[in-house]
Chain A
Amino acid sequence: MVHEEPNKPSLIYIDRHLVHEGTSPQAFAGLKAEGRKVRRPDLTFAVMDHSVSTTDRTLPILDNDAKLQFDALERNCRETGVRLFDMNSKHQGIVHIIGPELGITQPGQTIVCGDSHTSTHGACGTLAFGIGTSEVEHVLATQCLVQSKSKTLHILVHGKRPKGVTAKDIILAIIGKMGISGGNAQVAEYGGEAIRALSMDGRMTVCNMTIEGGARAGMIAPDDTTFAYLEGRAFVPRGKDFQTAVERWKLLKSDDDAKFDATIELHADQLAPQVTWGTNPGMVTSINGRVPDPHDFRDLNDQKATESALKYMGLKPGTPIVDISVDRVFIGSCTNSRLDDLRAAAHLIAGKHVAKNIKQALIVPGSRGIKAQAEKEGLDKIFTDAGFEWRDAGCSMCIGMNADVLPPHERSASTSNRNFEGRQGRDSRTHLVSPVMAAAAALAGHFVDVRDFDVAHIE
Chain B
Amino acid sequence: MQPFTTHTGLVMPLDRVNVDTDQMVPKQFLKSLTREGFGRILFYDWRYLPGEKPNPGFVLNFPRYKGASILLARTNFGCGSSREHAPWGVKDYGFRAIIAPSYADIFYNNCFKNGILPAILTEAEVDRLFQHTESEQGYSLSIDLPTQTIKDTYGHVYNFDIAPSRKEVLLKGLDDIAASLLHASEIADYEKSHPATATMFDPVDIKNYR
Cβ-based interface call for A410 (8 A): no
CB contacts between A and B, total, < 8 Å: 216
Size class of the B contact interface (CB-based, 8 Å): 35 or more
Q: Nearest Cβ in chain A — how far from B15, in angstroms?
A: 8
The stretch that binds B, out of A19-27, A340-348, A354-362, is: A19-27
In the complex, residue of chain B having the shortest beta-carbon distance to the beta carbon of A9: B165
B109 near A83 (CB under 8 angstroms)?
no
- A143 and B187: CB pair below 8 A? yes
Query: B28 and A305: CB pair below 8 A?
Result: no
Let me know if B27 and A132 touch, CB within 8 A.
no
CB-based contact A301/B75 at 8 Å: yes
Taking a contact as CB atoms under 8 Å apart, the answer to whether B27 and A423 are in contact is yes
Q: Please tell me if B114 contacts chain A, counting CB pairs below 8 Å.
A: yes
Contact assessment for B204 and A81 in the assembled complex, using a CB-CB cutoff below 8 Å:
no
A395 to chain B, nearest CB (A): 10
Give every chain A residue within 8 A of B15 (Cβ-Cβ). 304
Contact, CB under 8 Å: B206 / A50: no
Chain B: CB-nearest residue to A63: B31
Determine the residue in chain B with the shortest Cβ distance to A13: B190
Chain A: minimal CB distance from B100 (Å): 11
Q: How near does chain B come to A105, taking the closest CB pair, in angstroms?
A: 10
With contacts A11-B183, A423-B22 known, is A42 near B197, CB below 8 A? yes
How many A residues, CB 8 Å from partner? Answer: 90
Please judge, given known A-B contacts A29-B33, A141-B181, whether A134 and B80 are in contact too, CB under 8 Å. no
B112 nearest in chain A by CB position: A134
Which residues of the partner chain A approach B32 to less than 8 Å between Cβ atoms?
25, 65
Contact of B109 among A43, A132, A180 (CB under 8 A): A132
Q: B208 at the A/B interface (Cβ < 8 Å)?
A: yes
**Chain A contacts of B181 at CB under 8 A?**
141-142
Of all chain B residues, the one with the shortest Cβ separation from A238 is B201
Asked whether, in the complex, the Cβ of A184 is within 8 Å of the Cβ of B22, the reply is: no
Q: B102 to chain A: which residues have CB within 8 Å?
A: 181, 184
With both chains docked as a complex, state the minimum distance between the C-beta of A370 and any C-beta of chain B, in angstroms.
15
* Set of chain A residues within 8 Å of B210, measured between Cβ atoms: 41-42, 81, 83
Chain B 94-119: CB-based contact to A (< 8 A → 1; otherwise 0): 00000000111110011001100000
Assembled-state Cα–Cα distance A72/B176 (Å):
25
Give Cα A61–Cα B201 distance, bound, in whole angstroms: 34
Q: How far is the CB of A53 from chain B (nearest CB, A)?
A: 14
Nearest residue, chain B, Cβ from A236:
B201
A227-252 to B contact mask, C-beta < 8 Å, 1/0: 00000011111100000000000000
A399 contacts B205, CB within 8 Å? no
* Cα-based distance from A43 to B74 in the complex (angstroms): 39
Residues of B contacting A68 with CB < 8 Å? 31, 33
Contact, CB under 8 Å: B183 / A3 = yes
Whether the Cβ atoms of A36 and B79 lie closer than 8 Å is no
B201 and A83 contact, CB distance less than 8 A = no
Residue B124, interface by CB 8 Å? no
Q: How far apart sit A421 and B109, CA to CA, in the bound complex (Å)?
A: 23
Smallest CB gap from A422: residue in B: B45
Chain B residues whose C-beta falls within 8 Å of the C-beta of A8 in the assembled complex: 165
* A161 interface hit (Cβ, 8 Å): no
Shortest Cβ distance from residue A342 to the other chain B in the assembled complex, whole angstroms: 22
> Would you list which residues of chain B between 66 and 82 have a CB under 8 Å from chain A?
74-76, 79-82
Asked if residues A43 and B76 are in contact (CB atoms below 8 Å), the reply is no
- Bound together, the chains give a CA A437 to CA B149 distance in angstroms of 51
Query: Is the C-beta of A324 less than 8 angstroms from some C-beta in chain B?
Result: no
Cα–Cα distance between A90 and B209 once the two chains are bound (Å): 15
How many Å lie between the Cα of A172 and that of B91 in the bound state?
A: 34
Q: Apart from A142-B181, A422-B22, what 10 extra A-B contacts exist at CB < 8 Å? A: A22-B31, A34-B177, A45-B198, A83-B209, A89-B207, A131-B106, A141-B181, A142-B180, A233-B202, A301-B75
Residues of B within 8 A of A (CB): 15-18, 20, 22-23, 26-28, 30-35, 45, 74-76, 79-84, 87, 102-106, 109-110, 113-114, 163-165, 176-177, 180-181, 183-184, 186-187, 190-191, 194, 196-202, 204-210
Interface residues of A (CB under 8 A from B): 1-3, 7-9, 11, 13, 15-16, 22-23, 25-26, 29, 34, 36, 39-43, 45, 50-51, 63, 65-66, 68-69, 72, 74, 77-78, 81-86, 89-91, 102, 104, 114-116, 130-135, 137-138, 141-144, 146, 148, 180-181, 184-185, 214, 216, 233-238, 280, 301-302, 304-305, 308, 399-401, 418, 420-423, 426-427
Closest 10 pairs (CB-CB, A-B): A134-B113, A65-B31, A132-B84, A181-B76, A132-B110, A130-B82, A234-B202, A116-B82, A133-B84, A25-B33
Q: Can you list 9 A-B pairs, Cβ within 8 angstroms, ordered by A?
A: A13-B187, A13-B196, A25-B34, A43-B196, A86-B207, A141-B177, A214-B105, A301-B17, A304-B16
